[in-house]
Amino acid sequence: MDLRIMAWNLWELRGDLPALTETVRDLAPDVLLVQETPRFVLPTTRLRWFARQVGMEILVGGFGGRGLAILATEDVAARVIRRGMHPVAQQLSDLNSTYPRGVAAVRVSVPGGGAVVLSSIHFALQQDNRMAHAEHVKALVRSAGAPVIVGGDLNETADGPARGLLDALVQDPAGPDQHTFPASAPTRRIDAILVSEGVQVRDARAVRSTDAVDAARLAGASDHLPTLVDVSL
């Protein structure tokens, strides 16, 4: 089973919406792991609008989704065994720490038997909260009983302490030079798709442009660039 997985912080749909939707359509992912979906004004309606624009179905997300969502093609949606959203408690230290955090996950059957777990995450800006979130993800990966693909906005680079907690279980197959932030002049890879054993990676990279959307337009779609992996299971 071959899958194209894309992860993207959508900046609550505040950027160039045509560039945003054209990028997703052009890259044609099977699964889109989303961070920063709309949370306050008609969150479910706006997420449904976006899903329609890119020809995908919402597996998890919308009202109460803690800014996370997982979208997929009809073929992948038909293989979903289980889906859910797990809240992750945060220590409140400033206004930024009030943003709700969690883990969105779906279990998808694989042809021939078995399954894969797909998860969207968005780590906090505060290191202590990122560590708590990473511990939660670590437990989820260990208990999955299947290969895991987890991706999103991690708010730290590969040498960060929260990423270090996950290194033994999931790895970023893209190179450290595949920067994603800030979108207008990327210098850091703080967005990544991490894969566990049992996932064969055919390609992994940050997306800087597509055939339909040049670099300047893509930089206006969100403050983050998307990241992409092609895998076989």
CATH code for the domain in which residue 88 is found: 3.60.10.10
pLDDT for 16: 98
Helices 17-27 and 43-53 cross at an angle (nearest 10°) of 50
Of the pLDDT bands very low, low, confident and very high (cuts 50, 70, 90), residue 173 is: very high
Instruction: Give the residue ranges of DSSP H helices in the chain.
Output: 17-27, 43-53, 74-77, 127-143, 161-166, 215-221
Do residues 204 and 229 lie in contact, with contact meaning Cβ atoms separated by under 8 Å?
yes
Domain count, the chain: 1
Instruction: Give the residue ranges of DSSP H helices in 54-182.
Output: 74-77, 127-143, 161-166
Average pLDDT over residues 134-155: 97
pLDDT at 136 > cutoff 90: yes
Average pLDDT over residues 207-218: 97
pLDDT for 176: 85
Which residue did the predictor score with more confidence, 219 or 97?
A: 219
10 lies in which domain range? 2-232
What's the mean per-residue pLDDT of the chain?
Answer: 96
Q: Classify residue 181 by its DSSP letter.
A: B
Structure tokens at 23: 């990028």
pLDDT at 202 > cutoff 90: yes
Average pLDDT over residues 205-213: 97
Average pLDDT over residues 174-197: 96
pLDDT for 95: 77
pLDDT for 163: 96
Average pLDDT over residues 187-199: 97
